[in-house]
Amino acid sequence: MLLQLRISFIRHYLLILYILNGIEQTAKQTINQIKEINRLFIATQEKIKLEAEKLYDKELVELLFEQPYCRIEYVIERLGVSRITASKYLKGLEEIGILESRRVWKEILHINTNLFAQLKS
């Protein structure tokens, strides 16, 4: 009886260690992914400042990192600009390689390619 209790305890102990190890590994991967996304955010800010200074707006960069894609309506709403201005921002960011536009049914999605690739990996 005592031997069975010890064996049961050891099995539970090993199972708990296994689960905790999985949690630790997941946490480390998540921390690394967050660090990489932060690095991409800073690199994107710098790229816009260097290659398209007139387009730089911190709110716009933050918007680009909320989701891996952006709709023109998001830019209009967040920045309080006209549809024409929002379109110019998105096209400018596409020209310098930050965004890639894709037509999905009736609308165009602007994909933050680096963020999308990071989230996919």
Closest-CA residue to 92 (of 110, 119, 73): 110
CA pair distance 33, 64, nearest whole angstrom: 17
Give the model's pLDDT for residue 116: 96
CA pair distance 92, 105, nearest whole angstrom: 23
Where on the phi/psi map is residue 81: left (φ > 0), alpha (ψ -120 to 50), or beta? beta
Q: 19-57: per-residue pLDDT in tens?
A: 999 999 999 999 999 999 999 999 999 999 999 999 999
The count of structural domains within the chain is 1
Q: In which domain, by residue range, is 101 found?
A: 2-120
CATH code of the domain in which 78 resides = 1.10.10.10
- Its pTM stands at 0.83
Q: Of 3-7, 31-35, 89-93, which range is least confident? A: 3-7
